[in-house]
Amino acid sequence: MELIINDVRFSYRSFEALKGISFELRESEILGIIGPNGSGKTTLLKCINKILEPKQGEILLDGRKIRKMKRIEVAKNLGYVPQNAHAGFDSPTVFDVVLMGRRPYIEWRCCDKDTEKVWEILAMLHIESLAMRKFDELSGGQQQKVLIARALAQEAKVLLLDEPTSNLDIRHQLEVMNLIERLVTEKNLAGITAIHDLNLASRYCDKIVMMKEGKIFAAGRVDRVLTPENIEKVYGVRVAIDGCHGKPHIVVLEISS
C-alpha cells in the first residue's frame, strides 16, 4: 500500500489553508502530523478522506486518484476517526456504531458476515463487553476505541485519526496509541494521526510532518524533525530534548521572545 500526497492546496474562500503539501506513506507506518492550532492538520485529513476537495494537487492510493473514486470506494480504503465525535441524543449502542463501518459492504440489510465481523473486531480490541452499552454513556477513552473499531469494520487500508488522544487522561492516551501502533503493525495498515502531544508523536510515530501556517515546515524521521530549533520556530517555545530513553522527549523550558 502506498499513499502519495502531491502538492495539495486547499482554500476556505479567500483563506489558503493548505499550501502545497507533499509526502508519502506506506503500510506498517504511522505518520504524525503536528503543528500549532490552525496550521491545517484537520483540513489535510479531510482532503485525504475526500470530505474536502483540494483546489490543486493529487492524492493517490496505490496509484489511483482519490478524487476519482466513488464515496463507497473511499470508505473501503480510508477509515476516518474524527475528534470529539458525538453520536447524538438518541445514542446507538456500541455494536450499532461499529456496524456503521460495514455500510460500504451492505446492499440492502446486514448479513451474518457483517455481524460476525463486528464481533470479531470488538473481541480483537477487547471491548466486546461494551457491545450493548450506549455510546454516549462511555468514557472518552472507550469512545475512541469504539470509533477506531468502526474504522476497522470498513476494512480500510489507511487509518486517519484526528487528535485521537484529545481530552483523555495519561493512561487512556497510552492505551489508544498502543492500540493504533498494534493495529498498524499486525494488520499491515498505514496510520496518519494529527496530534498535539509532541512526546506521544515522538514515541509512536515512524515519521513526522511538522506544519506551520498551511505549509510543511519540516518532515522526516522523528529525531530530525523534533529538534529544539524547529520547535521554537514553529511553536514559539524553547525546549530541551532528552534522549536517554531511546526516543526524543521534549521538555518545555519557556516561551521564546
pLDDT tens per residue, range 67-84: 999 999 999 999 999 886
**Residue-level pLDDT at 255:** 96
Question: Closest Cα partner for 248 from 203, 190, 196, 195?
Answer: 203
Q: Cell numbers 476519482 label which residue?
A: 68
C-alpha cell at 131: 457491545
Average pLDDT of 168-184?
93
| pLDDT score of 231 more than 90 | yes
C-alpha cell at 9: 492546496
Kindly tell me the burial class for residue 175, based on how many C-beta atoms sit within 10 Å of its own C-beta (0-12, 13-18, 19 or more): middle
**Residue-level pLDDT at 112:** 83
Residue 89: pLDDT band with limits 50, 70, 90: very low
DSSP string, 141-152: HHHHHHHHHHHH
pLDDT tens per residue, range 94-146: 999 999 999 888 766 778 889 999 999 999 999 999 999 999 999 888 999 99
CATH node for 2-228 = 3.40.50.300
**Residue-level pLDDT at 85:** 65
Cβ-contact 76, 102 below 8 angstroms: no
Report the predicted TM-score, pTM, of the whole model to 2 decimal places. 0.92
Domain ranges across the chain: 2-228
**Residue-level pLDDT at 250:** 95
**Residue-level pLDDT at 245:** 75
Strand locations in 13-77 (E): 15-26, 30-34, 56-61, 64-65
Give percent above pLDDT 70 in the chain: 96
DSSP string, 81-121: E-SS----SSPPBHHHHHHGGGGGG-SSS--HHHHHHHHHH
**Residue-level pLDDT at 246:** 77
CA-to-CA distance for 124 and 54, rounded, in angstroms?
A: 36
